[in-house]
């Protein structure tokens, strides 16, 4: 139960972070120095997604070892993708900012 809740929290944080990033994108692209109130929200939610994603991956491993009846393979793969996606997003943002 906790494994799926952590996966769901990670997924929701990623979706809202992406939406807030899209809303704040026109203000970040302007050269006038406009500040959008949602500018700091994507970073905060991405940080939250990294923490809950790590918890989801750890709980997934624990669940895999403890449960007698295993979860379906598709659910395990989806949870692993959702749990590691925030780390991949941060790596992509770091690599794009270095160029």
Q: How far apart, in whole angstroms, are the C-alpha atoms of residue 63 and residue 69? A: 10
Nearest alpha-carbon partner for 53 in 82, 24, 15, 27: 82
Percent of the chain at pLDDT > 90 equals 43
Mean pLDDT, the chain, rounded, equals: 86
Compute CA distances 80 → 31, 53, 64, 68, 94, whole Å: 39, 9, 12, 20, 22
The tens digit of pLDDT for each residue in 88-97 reads: 998 988 888 8
Q: How far apart, in whole angstroms, are the C-alpha atoms of residue 43 and residue 25? A: 13
Which parts of the chain sit beneath pLDDT 70? 27-37, 98-99
Query: pLDDT at position 99, please?
Result: 47
Q: How far apart, in whole angstroms, are the C-alpha atoms of residue 47 and residue 43? A: 6
Q: pTM here?
A: 0.81
Compute CA distances 30 → 24, 27, 39, 43, 45, whole Å: 10, 5, 13, 19, 23
């Amino acid at each position: 139960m906790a494994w799926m809740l952590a996966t769901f929290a990670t997924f929701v944080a990623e979706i809202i972070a992406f939406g807030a990033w899209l809303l704040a994108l026109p203000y970040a692209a302007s050269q006038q120095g406009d500040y959008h109130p949602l500018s700091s929200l994507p970073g905060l939610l991405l940080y939250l997604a990294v923490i809950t994603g790590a918890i989801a991956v750890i709980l997934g491993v624990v669940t895999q070892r403890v449960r007698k009846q295993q979860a379906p393979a598709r659910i395990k793969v989806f949870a692993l993708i959702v749990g590691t996606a925030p780390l991949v997003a941060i790596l992509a943002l770091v690599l794009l900012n270095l160029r």
